[in-house]
Chain A
Amino acid sequence: MSRIPRIVYLDNAATSFPKPRAVLDEMMDTYSRLGVSPGRGSYDLAAECETYVYEVRRRVNDFFRGDRPERVVFFHNSTDALNTAILGLASPGSHVVSSRLEHNSVLRPLHHLRDRGLISFDLVPFDGRGFIDPDDVAKAIKPATSFVVLNHVSNVLGTIQPVSDVGRMCAEREVPFILDVSQSAGVVPIDMRTMQVSAVAFTGHKSLMGPTGIGGLVLRDGVDPKPLRFGGTGFESWSPVHPENYPYRLEAGTLNVLGIIGLNAGLRYVTQRGLGAIHEHEMSLVHALRDRITSLDAVLLYCAENLHNHVALLTCNIRDLDPDDFSAILDGDFNVATRSGLHCAPLVHEDLGTSPRGSVRFSFGPLNSLDDASAAANAVAAIAGLRSQ
């Protein structure tokens, strides 16, 4: 096995890496003490684990300003949570509004339902700067619309969508509004009450700085997806019917306690450091990269002329260079890890004109430094320079 050099990790929009030492230490320490089945059994440790899990629900609920901790439901990740929300809220004959900015975690469940003749949907466009128009969402809502589901932040463009306006319009029309906060939770404040969001789908392994395998849904009162899974809950085992009360209604089987501990530690990390401070730090890095490479002739940047209302990711290509090869050169020659391809958001690339090969995405995290941004900029400049010759 060859020695692995230090990498400049710029794929934080996929999974933040590395994790803060405090998160890893807390996972090891707490799991060593409490890693049993929460709420199962009559021994003290099971009860203590259940209490711990409830405290994390409370922390998540406070973080997103939900209605109550019981309505924080844990899943594996955002995709899992979004599948539950979309499949659980859709009913035969219903209509859904979404956008062309969405990740496949939204698009594929919608197509799955439409292909079976169960629903119809409309996808609103985004403009040349990467933003949807809330008026387009309002116009797309029909009497049969059962919910609106949108990306808070595009995972390709990094643009923060005007979701408060969408929330207001949905509330006025009494249409539930599901928000995918995969890219925003941990860097952009999310207040479900003031933003009038009915449900948020989050994942722990991106900007919340937790491990992979933990995420969830926070549901406002009155938003009740049909359960898609049934099984053990640790109580009422005599009943053949899965319980209706939250969070058990949507949780079946033993929870990912190690993931929940990591999520808790990650939430503590981002809260203590401050979302504003994290966002400001990361944006200083993406600005540094953008400002260095924007004038290079061979570099094609997408929706990055103005980084206002953005998170710290940058999408680009080098003229006549396959994005996979661009990313391979960055990795193999410069130790810079990036993400190439369509980023599981094919419609964004279709509209950018970058299909089918996609682009290369640089995404910063709280543990990146200005040296990392400089290393990436130097690498892009070197590659672009040779392509221009």
Chain B
Amino acid sequence: MPTGEQVKARGYFTRTLEGRDVLFDDEGFLVNPEDWTEELAEALARSSGIAELTELHWRVLRFMRNYYVQNGRAPLNREIRTETGESIMEIERVFPGGIRGGARRLAGLPNPKSC
């Protein structure tokens, strides 16, 4: 759990979703991945323009989420493709924000390090 100073310095912000305060980083990723619930994913989806998550959305989110919980890291690209049975391109298309800013964020995975 980050300290108050870290929250301020890193540009974190709090949103009240599903009746509780949830901490996000400056790009809208959960700071504490354990805050994630399916209800939270639905709320995040609505605020990113998805009125209702489809079966494909859920297939991707549940796979990514379960993989993260079991392995402590995001799945590889080829694992996403193989295990969801959907192309990365199609997943990118159906999530506003794409894979990184959409699917990964809605699945409650940490903000990935970018070079």
Residues of A at the B interface (CB closer than 8 Å) are: 2, 4-5, 321-322, 324-325, 328-329, 331-333, 339-344, 357-358, 382-383, 386
- Whether B99 and A328, one on each chain, are in contact in the complex, defined by CB atoms closer than 8 angstroms, is yes
Query: A325-B100, A332-B77 are known contacts. Are A342 and B88 too (CB-CB below 8 A)?
Result: no
Q: Establish whether residues A333 and B98, one from each chain, have CB atoms under 8 Å apart when the complex forms.
A: no
- A325/B98 in contact, CB under 8 A: yes
Q: Complex: how many Å from CA A342 to CA B100?
A: 16
CB distance from B80 to the nearest CB of A (A): 6
Distance between Cα atoms of A4 and B81 in the complex (Å) = 13
A selection of 9 A-B contacts at a CB cut-off of 8 Å is A322-B98, A324-B100, A324-B114, A325-B88, A329-B92, A332-B76, A332-B80, A341-B114, A358-B115
Known: A325-B99, A325-B100. A332 touches B112 (CB 8 A): no
B51 within 8 A of A: no
A321 touches B100 (CB 8 A): no
Q: Cα distance A4–B99 when bound, in Å?
A: 21
Known: A329-B87, A332-B87. 13 other contacts (CB 8 A): A2-B78, A322-B97, A324-B98, A324-B99, A325-B98, A328-B88, A328-B99, A331-B77, A331-B88, A333-B87, A333-B89, A342-B114, A386-B93
Contacts of A343 on B, CB cut-off 8 Å? 115
Residue among A2, A325, A339 having the largest count of chain B Cβ atoms under 10 Å: A325
Q: Does B79 contact A (CB under 8 A)?
A: yes
Given contacts A5-B78, A332-B77, contact A321 B92 (CB under 8 A): yes
Choice from A332, A357, A383 contacting B81 with Cβ under 8 Å: A332
B101 at the interface (CB under 8 A from A): yes
The CA of A329 and the CA of B115, in the complex, are separated in Å by 17
Q: What residues of chain B lie closer than 8 Å to A339, measured between beta carbons?
A: 115
- Tell which of B79, B89, B112, B114 touches A329, judged by Cβ atoms closer than 8 Å: B89
A324→B93 CA distance, assembly (Å)? 14
Work out how many contacts link A and B, with CB atoms closer than 8 A.
Answer: 61
Q: Are A324 and B112 in contact (CB under 8 A)?
A: yes
Instruction: State the CA gap A339–B114 with chains docked (Å).
Output: 10
In the bound complex, do residue B112 and residue A328 qualify as a contact, i.e. CB atoms below 8 Å apart?
Answer: no
Query: Chain B nearest CB: distance from A343 CB in Å?
Result: 6
Q: Which residues of B contact A322 (CB under 8 A)?
A: 97-101
| Contacting residues of chain B (1-18) with chain A, CB-CB under 8 angstroms | none
B98 in contact with A321 (CB, 8 Å): yes
Chain A residue at minimal CB-CB distance from B88: A332
Q: Which 7 A-B pairs give the minimum distances between C-beta atoms? A: A332-B77, A332-B88, A341-B115, A325-B98, A331-B77, A329-B88, A324-B100
Q: Check B115 against A333 for contact (C-beta < 8 Å).
A: no
Complex CA distance for A344 and B115, rounded to whole angstroms: 6
A341 to B112, CA, bound (A): 12
Which of A2, A342, A386 contacts B79 (CB under 8 A)? A2
A10 to chain B, nearest CB (A): 15
Separation of A360 and B80 alpha carbons in the complex (Å): 21
Residue B66 at the A interface, CB < 8 A?
no
Residues of chain B from 61 to 112 with CB closer than 8 A to chain A in the complex: 76-82, 87-89, 92-93, 97-101, 112
Q: Are A325 and B92 in contact (CB under 8 A)?
A: yes
A331–B115 Cα distance when bound, in Å, is 17
- Give chain B residues whose Cβ lies under 8 Å from the Cβ of A324: 98-100, 112, 114
Knowing A322-B98, A328-B77, A341-B115 are in contact, say whether A386-B82 is a contact too (CB < 8 A): no
Asked whether B100 lies within 8 Å of A333 as measured between CB atoms, the reply is: no
Which residue of chain B has its CB nearest to the CB of A342? B115
Which of chain A's residues has its CB closest to B79's CB?
A2
One of A333, A340, A341 near B88 (C-beta < 8 A): A333
Distance A324 CA – B76 CA, assembled complex (angstroms): 13
**Alpha-carbon separation in the docked complex, A333 to B76 (Å):** 12
Taking CB atoms, residues of chain B closer than 8 Å to A2 are: 78-79, 82
Interchain nearest-CB distance for B103 vs A (Å):
10
In the assembled complex, the Cα of A358 lies from the Cα of B114 at a distance in Å of 10
Contact residues in A for B81 (Cβ distance below 8 Å): 332-333
Smallest CB gap from A332: residue in B: B77
Complex Cα distance, B104 from A328, in Å, reads 12
A382 proximity list for chain B (CB < 8 A): 89
Give the CA-CA distance A167 to B79 in the complex, in Å.
50
Bound-state CA distance A344–B113 (Å) is: 13
Q: Which residue of A lies closest to B80 (CB)?
A: A332
Chain A residues near B77: list those with CB within 8 A: 328, 331-332
Q: A321-B98, A325-B100, A332-B81 are in contact. Are A386 and B89 (CB under 8 A)?
A: yes
Q: Chain B's nearest CB lies how many Å from the CB of A296?
A: 15
- Smallest distance from the beta carbon of A154 to chain B beta carbons, Å? 16
- The minimal Cβ–Cβ distance linking B61 to chain A, given in whole angstroms, is 16
- The docked-state distance in angstroms from the alpha carbon of A383 to that of B101 is 18
